[in-house]
Amino acid sequence: MPVTDRYRPDPRHADLDTRFHDPVEAAAFPQHVLRFRNDRAAATVGLEALTDDEWVDHFGRFRPLPDNLPGPLALRYHGHQFRTYNPDLGDGRGFLFAQMREHGAADGRLLDLGTKGSGTTPWSRGGDGRLTLKGGVRELLATEMLEALGVGTSRTFSVIETGEKLWRGDEPSPTRSCVLVRLQHSHIRIGSFQRQSYLRDADALAVLMEHVIALHMPDLAAIDDRLDRTAAFVRRVGENCARLAAGWMAAGFVHGVLNTDNIVVTGDSFDYGPWRFLPVHDPAFTAAYFDQTGLYAYGRQPDTLMWNLTRLAETLLPLSNRDRLMEALQSFPAAFAAALNEAVTRRLGVLPAGQQEDEALVVALFEAMGQTQVPFERPFFDWYGGAASEARALERSPHARDYRGEPFARFRDLLRGRAARPGVDLDHPYFSDPAPCTMLIDEVESLWEPIAAADDWRRLHARLAAIRRMGEALGNG
C-alpha cells in the first residue's frame, strides 16, 4: 500500500495490559461513501498517498495499517458526568485504531487515530455504537474551525457515510449514519485514572502515569523521587488544561460537555457534541439544551477544568501526598491567566507586553465586548495586527461607532502601542472580506440543510475552504 516514508507506526498503547482496554471489532457497515478525507492531516503521518479505495478499507472497514495495532482497542475509563460519578463508562461507540509519530514536529510526538460511530463494544451500555451523519458533520466543522483559530484540538481525519438509518431523540429520525476517524494527541483521559482509583489498583495508576510520562512528558522522567514526579505530572496536566481553557475562551467556544472522561491529559479538545460558538460575549451562554443549571457555561469552563484536574489529583494520592498535590493544583490559576493572555494577544495578532499589561488588555477587550454586544468574532477581525488596523476598525468596520465609544476607550489606548506579531499579513485577502468567518448554530444548520434535503455537499465544502483560508490568514494554516 502507498504509505510514504513519513509513516512511522508506533503502537505504544499495546504496551499496556488489559486493565486499560478491550480488543474489539468494528461494525460491518452496509455501505461506505467517503464524504471527507483530511489529506492535510494525513500528510503529517504519511498517509496522504492512500487511494480512496484504500482509505475506505482502512477507515471504513478498519483493516489494520501496516505494523500498527493488529486490531482495535476499546479503552476503559470512568468519569464524572455533570459532577455525578459514573463507573459504567468506557469506549461505547469508538476505539483506538492506530498510533504513529507526527512528521515535522520537533519531538515527533505520538498521535492516535481513534473512531466515533464504529460499532458496539463491551461499554456500549445498550447503545447502538453508531454516529449520525449530522453529528459527524458537526464535529468536522468544530475541529476545522478550532484548528483555524489556533486552538489545540483533535482533527477530523475521515468521515464515511455507512448506509444505516438511526433513531435519535434530538434529530428528525430516521437519520443517516457515518463513522468518523479523528487524529489527536492521546486518548488517555482524566477518567482513565479515575477507573483505576475506583478499583483501588495503585499499581495500575503508576503504570498509566509512567506510560503517559514516557510518551508525552519525557522530561518528567528525570525526576527521581516518585512523589515529586507525580506532583509534576499533575502540574503538567494542569498546564495543558489551562492552555485548552484559554484557547476556548479566546475563541468564544463552548464545548458543552466537560465531563472528566472528555478531558485528555495532553490538553487537546475533542469529542464534540452540543458545542457552540458565542454570538456575543456572554459568560452565561450554554451549549447543551440539557445543561439546565449552566454548569458548563462559557464563563465557567476554566473553573470546570480546575475541578476536573482536582479529581485527577485525588486519584494519585497513593503515589504522592496531599501537600505536594495541593501545591501542584494551586499552579493552575496562574497558568490559565498566562495562557489566556497569550491566546488573546495571539488572536489579536499583537506581541505580548508583560503579564500586567496583557491582562489589562484582555479585561478591557472582554468588558467592552460585553457592554456593546458586538459580534464576538468581530473585534478580533477588525483589530487584527493592533495599531496597524486602527483605521480599518475605526473607519471601515460596520461596528466603528462602537469602537469609537467609551466602552472601547481603554482597549484602544492599551492596543495603540502594540506591535504586530511577526508573520501578521494584513494584505491577505481575508482581511478585505466584509465580515469574519464564523460558525454560529444557525450557520451549522444552513450547511446541513442541503445535505439532508438533496445530498448537496457544495455549501459545506465551500465553508470548509473558507475556514482554511481564515486559518491561513491567521497563521494557523
The DSSP H or E segment spanning 180 is strand 175-184
Catalytic residue (choose from 112, 261, 358, 382): 261
Decide if 75 contacts 93 (C-beta within 8 A): no
Q: Which of 220, 256, 258, 254 is nearest to 237 (CA)?
A: 220
Written as nine digits, the cell of 298 is 462559557
Distance CA 410, CA 393 (A): 15
> What H or E segment, with its residue span, contains residue 174?
none
Instruction: Classify residue 440 by burial, with Cβ atoms within 10 Å: 0-12, 13-18, 19+.
Output: middle
Q: Retrieve residue 311's grid coordinates.
A: 479529581
Strands 21-23 and 131-132 turn out to be unpaired
Strand-pair partners of 116:
180
Type of residue at 414: L
217 vs 233: CA distance, rounded Å: 8
Residue tagged 478580533 (cell numbers):
380
Contact at 8 Å (CB) between 131 and 199? Answer: no
Cα separation of 270 and 183, whole Å?
10
Q: Are 101 and 132 in contact (CB under 8 A)?
A: no
372-406 burial, b at 16+ Cβ within 10 Å, e below that, comes to bebbbbbbbbbbbbbebbbebbbeebebeebbeee
Whether residue 67 contacts residue 1, with contact meaning beta carbons closer than 8 Å, is answered with no
Taking each helix axis from N to C end, the angle separating 355-372 and 332-348, rounded to the nearest 10 degrees, works out to 70
> Is 420 strand, coil or helix?
strand
Locus of grid cell 498510533: 99
Coil, helix or strand for 98?
strand
Enter the DSSP assignment of 374: -
Going through 213-349 in order, the beta strands assigned E by DSSP cover 253-254, 276-277
Question: HSE on the CB side for 81, CA within 13 Å?
Answer: 8
Q: Is 303 a catalytic residue?
A: no
Compute and round to an integer the Cα radius of gyration of the chain: 22
Beta strands per DSSP E along 378-435: none
Report, as residue numbers or ranges, the catalytic residues: 261
